[in-house]
């Protein structure tokens, strides 16, 4: 905890994005998450910390890892949990987001975990209800708990990330994961290179404090950790033809077994879901250089820490 001042206090009510969190806030969440990670290894991995809290998981977009790990984190901590899925709700009858959240809030909800395809929806929810709002991914804007679990996993490899070389490779322009990771990693002092085809590079992204590379070989030779991002085919409807084919993408930017042999030091991460044979050769995803399933396990601990802190907890 040496980087966190003695008089530091966590004062956040929401987690809308890492843009709003200071270096100390981020390091504090990661520090707290270590305790929750240890709790997950206990024979009975449960603590009653949130037993007086009611939480709704409001998912307007598909999810496996984020939704299940939030729910597991909430249940491990004894919260009352209700799950809302847009596809089976009155949204299908035309009910607005504002009416939906205000009706749910009338059932005395303390916290809302929200995933939505539109950037800014979690922020909008803070204006509709009094509950704490946690962003579980809003369009291509932010996915803060993913970045926190990614940083936690990186710390398991390199406990001090100051000056560590992190490469993020792939579909940068459609990725909320990359935006939250760049903001978090730059704040805590890591060096970030983003790598991918020119057609996947948003304008002015280097103003976030990262460097751009279009060369996978150079990037892998440089980095301590390489995080591959999913090619988000479902978000490319408006801009078809960003690359000629998945096969060509894999040939130019896919991480393959030959790279692991050539560059023996870097570890591999991926937020999931993986397009096997596109971002990663299938054997790479299953290799002992990959920490992809560690990311998923750590996601539960990190989300426990965030829920705990936002519910008013101070120290575990
Ligand atoms: N990493 C991630 O957000 O995965 P899901 O879409 O399955 O939640």
Q: How far is the CA of 64 from the centre of ligand 1 (A)?
A: 6
Average pLDDT, the chain: 95
Q: Which atom of ligand 1 is nearest to the CA of 136?
A: 3
**pLDDT on residue 177:** 98
1: pLDDT strictly greater than 50: no
Cβ(282)–Cβ(256) below 8 Å: no
Cα R_g (the chain), whole angstroms: 19
**What's the pLDDT band for 242 if we cut at 50, 70, 90?**
confident
Q: Do residue 247 and residue 305 come from a single domain?
A: no
Q: What confidence tens digit (pLDDT) does each residue in 146-205 have? A: 999 999 999 999 999 999 999 999 999 999 999 999 999 999 999 999 999 999 999 999
Nearest residue (CA) to ligand 1, atom 5: 63
pTM of the model: 0.95
Q: Is residue 83 part of a domain?
A: yes
How buried is residue 64: exposed, middle or buried, by Cβ count under 10 Å (0-12/13-18/19+)?
exposed
**Which one of 49, 66, 100, 219 is the catalytic residue?**
66
240: pLDDT strictly greater than 90: no
66 lines ligand 1 (CB under 6 A): yes
Tell me the backbone φ, ψ of residue 85, rounded to 5 degrees.
Answer: -120, 120
Report how many domains make up the chain: 2
Q: Do residue 269 and residue 165 come from a single domain?
A: yes
Mutate to test the pocket of ligand 1, among 69, 115, 136, 272 (most ligand atoms within 8 A of CB): 272
144 lines ligand 1 (CB under 6 A): no
Q: Do residue 148 and residue 287 come from a single domain?
A: yes
* DSSP state string for 75-93: HHTT-EEEEEEGGGSGGGG
Q: Do residue 177 and residue 265 come from a single domain?
A: yes
Q: What confidence tens digit (pLDDT) does each residue in 296-315 have? A: 999 999 999 999 999 997 54
Q: Is residue 315 part of a domain?
A: no
The stretch 27-50 carries a mean pLDDT of: 97
Helical segments of 93-238, H only:
97-105, 121-126, 144-157, 176-187, 216-222
Tell me the backbone φ, ψ of residue 269, rounded to 5 degrees.
Answer: -125, 160
Task: HSE, CB side, 13 Å, CA atoms: give it for residue 218.
Answer: 9
Q: Do residue 98 and residue 27 come from a single domain?
A: yes
**pLDDT on residue 313:** 76
Instruction: Give the domain range for residue 68.
Output: 18-138+297-310
**pLDDT on residue 2:** 58
**pLDDT on residue 284:** 98
**pLDDT on residue 315:** 45
Q: What is the CATH number of the domain that holds 180?
A: 3.40.50.1370
Alpha-carbon distances, residue 256 vs 51, 259, 289 (angstroms):
46, 5, 12
- Look up 153 and say whether it is catalytic: no
Q: What confidence tens digit (pLDDT) does each residue in 18-32 have? A: 999 999 999 999 999
The stretch 84-92 carries a mean pLDDT of: 92
Q: How far is the CA of 8 from the centre of ligand 1 (A)?
A: 32
């Amino acid at each position: 905890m040496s980087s966190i001042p003695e008089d530091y206090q966590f004062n956040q009510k929401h987690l809308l994005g890492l843009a709003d969190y200071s270096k100390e806030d981020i390091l504090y969440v990661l520090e707290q998450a270590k305790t929750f990670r240890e709790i997950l290894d206990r024979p009975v991995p449960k603590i009653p910390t949130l037993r007086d809290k009611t939480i709704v998981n409001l998912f307007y977009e598909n999810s496996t890892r984020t939704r299940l790990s939030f729910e597991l984190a909430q249940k491990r901590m004894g919260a009352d949990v209700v799950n809302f899925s847009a596809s089976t709700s009155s949204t299908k009858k035309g009910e607005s987001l504002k009416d939906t959240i205000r009706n749910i809030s009338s059932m005395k909800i303390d916290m809302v975990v929200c995933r939505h395809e539109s950037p800014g929806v979690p922020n909008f929810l803070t204006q509709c209800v009094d509950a704490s709002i946690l962003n579980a991914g809003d369009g291509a804007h932010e996915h803060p708990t993913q970045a926190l679990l990614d940083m936690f996993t990186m710390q398991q490899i390199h406990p001090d990330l100051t000056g560590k070389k992190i490469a993020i490779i792939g579909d940068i322009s459609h990725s909320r994961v990359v935006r939250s990771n760049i903001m978090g990693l730059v704040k805590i002092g890591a060096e970030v290179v983003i790598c991918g085809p020119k057609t996947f590079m948003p304008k002015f992204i280097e103003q976030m404090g990262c460097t751009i590379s279009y060369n996978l070989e150079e990037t892998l030779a440089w980095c301590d950790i390489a995080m591959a991002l999913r090619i988000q085919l479902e978000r490319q409807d408006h801009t078809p033809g960003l690359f000629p084919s998945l096969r060509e993408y894999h040939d130019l930017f896919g991480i393959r077994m030959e790279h692991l042999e050539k560059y023996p030091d870097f570890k591999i991460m991926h937020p999931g879901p993986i397009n096997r044979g596109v971002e990663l050769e299938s054997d790479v995803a299953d290799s002992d250089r990959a920490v992809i399933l560690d990311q998923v396990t750590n996601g539960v601990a990190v989300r426990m820490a965030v829920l705990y802190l936002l519910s008013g907890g101070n120290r575990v």
